[in-house]
Structure 1
Amino acid sequence: MTQIAALRVKKPDAPSSAGLLASLRGVSKAYATPAGSFMALQNIDLDIASGRFIAIVGKSGSGKTTLANLLTGIDSATSGSIRIGGVALEQKSEEELTAWRGRNVGVVFQFFQLLPTLTVVENVMLPMDFCRIGQTRDRRPRAMSLLAQLGIAEQADKLPSDLSGGQQQRAAIARALANDPQILVADEPTGNLDSHTTLEVMELFRSLTREGRTVVMVTHERDLGAFFTETVELADGQIVAIHNGEARP
């Protein structure tokens, strides 16, 4: 499997490095509400380079999920620029962003989002089918290889409902890795898991970063700090701190 450049979050005023993968400059996001415009993010400056397991932390409403959605291209900034792998996301149409995301971003959700009528291996093959990655005959073997790497190859032909929560999350991670993405973004991926399974998934994410992959994870769980190498802390839509080492509440 091709190794992917991982991420390092730097302080906004830090100089760019040769390994710069993504850059956010003056990024704001506003949502229209019945009470008026709500600023979910304000003037975010952030550089992302290689080699880290990143946490995005903050209280509810601080802008964590909004930042993750901007990094994945699921949402678009109201103002500012976002460049990932040299691609200016604000210059892409919605259709172009969908195609770009399918090939360059892996997304892991809290509630797995596996299609219930497809088998586990079919769920993992879906991104390859959608983006027409490789030859058709090669997609199932690649999906099986990913499931084996994640320790659930024997579950391949079962429906998601037949799997435990931890197994479903592993299947979701395999699906996120199917197209060998530049960035893996996980939004509260352990929020629906018991403590034992949470530790298993966190160890899995850490092992992916050791292979040279990138994991950027939104979380509110305070006891996972030992897994992270850097933490971006948000409050009221702004970056208030970037910590090295353990994540902090």
Structure 2
Amino acid sequence: MGLSEGRHRSPELARLIEVRQAVKHYESAAGVFTALNGVSLGIDPGEFVAVIGKSGSGKSTLLNIIAGIDRPTSGEVFVDGTAVHSLRERRIAPWRGRTLGVIFQFFQLLPTLTVIENVMLPMDFCSTFPPRERRERAMDLLVQVELADHADKLPTALSGGQQQRVAIARALANDPPILLADEPTGNLDSQTAGAVFRLFTDLVDAGKTILMVTHDADLARQVTRAVVLRDGEVVDEVTNHRPSLVGSD
């Protein structure tokens, strides 16, 4: 992919995701709230990184500025060479559709579309695959998440775990190199959460890079690296699955 508007690759930039001194302020009637306070984070291709911390620590804000859903007040965010912090508004959604798969806690499936139509939607939006190939690709992804038999059902006919697997298939529709998951198991029972997590590890083994926000300390112990946020700052990084640092918040 050639350099274009919003792509300003620094000579020293080698990481797939690079957040540099990101600050995010929100103004409210109660005053200014600092969600991120000088956060720097680098993620390499093929890593499975968890961001953990208590509510209000800045986890979701960090994911949102990486995804271009929100912009930092100051600092820089590079994703696969694209300067996300300076990307023009009209270019953010197409860029996101091709580069990132985003998975939410509450699935965010469109209730009036069938399962397979939900999975096809990103391909329709970004035109990443010829129209004649999209349904077949969507079905292949549903096979991968073991839901091919439910392709023509509406999402409301599926369990929570099944809907989350549909959301994962949808996130993979355009074959993005990166998946961002915001509390993807937070609305699931422990057994179903474990099944979703195993699907994530299979995707990492297949070459995807995953950044996951989670409150689940057991899952955080099983990733490549866990980044601990507190009051908008990175206060620790955990490698080799040292459970004493991931705590129970």
- After TM superposition, the score normalised by the length of structure 1 is 0.90
Residue 115 of structure 2 corresponds to residue 98 of structure 1: no
Aligned to 1:192: 187
Partner amino acid, structure 1, of 2:72: A
Aligned partner of 1:60 among 52, 55, 62 = 55
Residue 138 of structure 2 corresponds to residue 133 of structure 1: no
Residue 145 of structure 2 corresponds to residue 144 of structure 1: no
Contact 2:26 2:33 (C-alpha < 8 Å) held by counterparts: yes
**What count of residue pairs does the alignment treat as equivalent?**
233
Q: What is the correspondence of 1:157-176 to structure 2 with a 5 Å cutoff?
A: 157-176=152-171
Residue 22 of structure 2 corresponds to residue 37 of structure 1: no
Q: Tell me, which stretches of 5 or more residues in structure 2 are unaligned?
A: 1-11
Residue 65 of structure 2 corresponds to residue 70 of structure 1: yes
What is the CA distance between 1:37 and its match in structure 2?
A: 1.1
Residue 225 of structure 2 corresponds to residue 233 of structure 1: no
Contact 1:56 1:218 (C-alpha < 8 Å) held by counterparts: yes
What is the CA distance between 1:17 and its match in structure 2?
A: 7.8
SS at match of 2:166: helix
SS at match of 2:69: coil
What is the CA distance between 1:227 and its match in structure 2?
A: 2.3
Contact 1:231 1:245 (C-alpha < 8 Å) held by counterparts: no
Q: Tell me, which stretches of 5 or more residues in structure 1 are unaligned?
A: 1-15
Tell me the C-alpha RMSD between the 2 structures: 1.3
**Percent identity of paired positions between Structure 1 and Structure 2:** 54
Distance of 1:174 and 1:225 partners within structure 2:
22
Aligned to 1:11: none
What is the CA distance between 1:33 and its match in structure 2?
A: 1.0
Aligned to 1:210: 205
Distance of 1:225 and 1:128 partners within structure 2:
31
Distance of 2:204 and 2:128 partners within structure 1:
23
Contact 1:56 1:216 (C-alpha < 8 Å) held by counterparts: yes
Partner amino acid, structure 1, of 2:91: E
Distance of 1:72 and 1:78 partners within structure 2:
15
1:211-248 Cα shifts (integer Å, max 9, x gaps): 11111110111222342110010000000011103261
SS at match of 2:72: coil
Partner amino acid, structure 2, of 1:60: S
SS at match of 2:236: strand
1:97-137 Cα shifts (integer Å, max 9, x gaps): 11111111100011100000000000000000011112101
SS at match of 2:215: coil
Runs of 4+ displaced beyond 3 Å: none
Aligned to 2:18: 23
Partner amino acid, structure 1, of 2:82: V
Aligned to 2:196: 201
Aligned to 2:118: 123
Distance of 1:104 and 1:158 partners within structure 2:
28
Aligned partner of 1:223 among 218, 230, 238 = 218
